[in-house]
């Protein structure tokens, strides 16, 4: 039997030992090479694109010879107000890409010996970096599966039966329940969107799926409208999961990863952050065939392209 990819030596090309052994200067160099890949790590002024700079080595800053702008390797990226050493940042990236079902913030803060809140903000910034690769704005092509799954809003049943309420009734729900609607190309990208109800899926398909595509969906009646726009395979899950190639297994495996991430690592997920986990799971799913060195490389590179986060910038100052 073929060995599972994650068990093979080929899936392991980066380790925490390597990162710490190589040290802070090497980690810094990695970030420079990712940020300025077209000049082999030589600084380029973010303001005027000039390649001539003075190096202020002691502070790891650069000053542009043309416009005198001062900047660092993380200026204008999600790591702009970074306080962590580069070596710890790289280690955090390694830990996060190694977690095939995500990593809890408690675990990350323990591994890095940093405060919970630091780990929380860092992990969310990295999810924004992943979103650069997931939410590209390009339409999905080929064979596209669509499905939805509900998260959050769980109401714990009362201990005694007499005290229990009917949790199916809207009046007894918390209002925190959201749906993740995912569209997944059989040979490529996964695109998740957070909404209030699965019926919003048809409108999302209209925006995000190419008209030439074939679609697959389950038997739920709100997918009937898809037939007006596409050729659609339907599969009735109460009878069969896969019928001669008619299935939604790809999108189901995305949801199973997201479900395990939410219940296994994060336990509770507020509606506000659900889209972050949805993007994280999509990124892991789409890149699942890469070794962990390549994953870390991609994530640093996404992070260097991701603009200063509006959501997380100054989070410390606000929440303190």
Task: Measure the CA dihedral 287/291/293/295, to 10°.
Answer: 10
Strands (E), 143-260: 143-151, 178-185, 190-195, 214-218, 231-235
Strands (E), 137-205: 143-151, 178-185, 190-195
CB 42, min distance to Zn ion, A: 14
Site for Zn ion in 155-184 (CB under 5 A): none
Hey, how many other C-beta atoms are within 10 angstroms of the C-beta on 122? 25
CB 132, min distance to Zn ion, A: 25
13 binds Zn ion (CB under 5 A): no
Q: How many degrees, rounded to 5, is the angle at CA 170 between CA 164 and CA 175?
A: 100
Site for Zn ion in 28-57 (CB under 5 A): 45, 47-48, 50
Cβ proximity to Zn ion, 31 vs 71, nearer residue = 71
Q: Are 180 and 196 in contact (CB under 8 A)?
A: no
Q: In sequence order, which residues have a C-beta less than 8 Å from that of residue 239 and are 6 or more positions away?
A: none
Cβ proximity to Zn ion, 6 vs 48, nearer residue = 48
Q: Are 139 and 288 in contact (CB under 8 A)?
A: no
Site for Zn ion in 107-136 (CB under 5 A): none
Of 12-20, 68-76, 275-283, 311-319, the window that binds Zn ion (rule: CB under 5 A) is 68-76
Count of residues touching Zn ion (by CB under 5 A): 8
Q: Cα separation of 304 and 76, whole Å?
A: 9
CB 71, min distance to Zn ion, A: 8
- SS3 for 216? strand
Cβ proximity to Zn ion, 51 vs 177, nearer residue = 51
Binding mask 82-111 for Zn ion (x = CB under 5 A): ------------------------------
Nearest CA among 250, 173, 168, 178 for reference residue 217: 250
CB 65, min distance to Zn ion, A: 8
Q: Are 312 and 122 in contact (CB under 8 A)?
A: no
Cβ proximity to Zn ion, 68 vs 106, nearer residue = 68
CB 313, min distance to Zn ion, A: 23
Of 13-21, 59-67, 101-109, 189-197, the window that binds Zn ion (rule: CB under 5 A) is 59-67
Cβ proximity to Zn ion, 48 vs 210, nearer residue = 48
69 binds Zn ion (CB under 5 A): yes
64 binds Zn ion (CB under 5 A): yes
- Please state the separation of Cα 255 from the chain's center in Å: 13
Cβ proximity to Zn ion, 69 vs 101, nearer residue = 69
Judged by the rule CB under 5 A, the positions of this chain that interact with Zn ion are 45, 47-48, 50, 64, 66-67, 69
């Amino acid at each position: 039997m073929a060995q599972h990819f994650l068990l093979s030596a080929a899936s392991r090309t980066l380790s925490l030992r390597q990162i710490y052994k190589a040290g802070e200067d090497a980690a810094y160099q990695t970030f420079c090479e990712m940020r300025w890949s077209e000049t082999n790590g030589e600084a380029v002024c973010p303001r005027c694109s000039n390649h001539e700079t003075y190096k202020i080595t002691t502070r790891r800053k650069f000053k542009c010879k043309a416009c005198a702008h001062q900047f660092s390797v993380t200026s204008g990226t999600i790591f702009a107000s970074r306080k962590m050493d580069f070596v710890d940042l790289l280690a955090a990236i390694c830990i996060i890409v190694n977690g095939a079902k995500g990593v809890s913030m408690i675990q990350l803060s323990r591994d890095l010996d940093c405060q919970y809140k630091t780990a929380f903000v860092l992990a969310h910034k990295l999810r924004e970096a992943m979103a650069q690769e997931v939410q590209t704005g390009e339409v999905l092509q080929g064979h596209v599966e669509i499905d939805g799954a509900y998260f959050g809003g769980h109401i714990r049943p009362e201990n005694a039966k007499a005290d229990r309420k009917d949790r199916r009734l809207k009046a007894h729900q918390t209002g925190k329940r959201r749906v993740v609607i995912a569209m997944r190309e059989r040979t490529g990208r996964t695109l998740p969107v957070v909404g209030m109800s699965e019926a919003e899926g048809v409108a999302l398909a209209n925006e995000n799926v190419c008209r030439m595509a074939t679609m697959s969906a389950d038997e739920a009646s709100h997918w009937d409208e898809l037939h007006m726009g596409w050729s659609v395979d339907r599969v009735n899950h109460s009878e069969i999961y896969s019928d001669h190639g008619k299935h939604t297994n790809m999108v189901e495996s995305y949801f199973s990863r997201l479900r395990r991430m939410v219940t296994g690592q994060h336990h509770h997920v507020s509606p506000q952050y659900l889209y972050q986990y949805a993007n994280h799971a999509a990124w892991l799913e789409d890149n699942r065939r890469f070794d962990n060195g390549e994953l870390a490389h991609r994530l640093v590179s996404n992070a260097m392209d991701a603009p200063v986060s509006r959501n997380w910038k100054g989070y410390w100052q606000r929440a303190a």
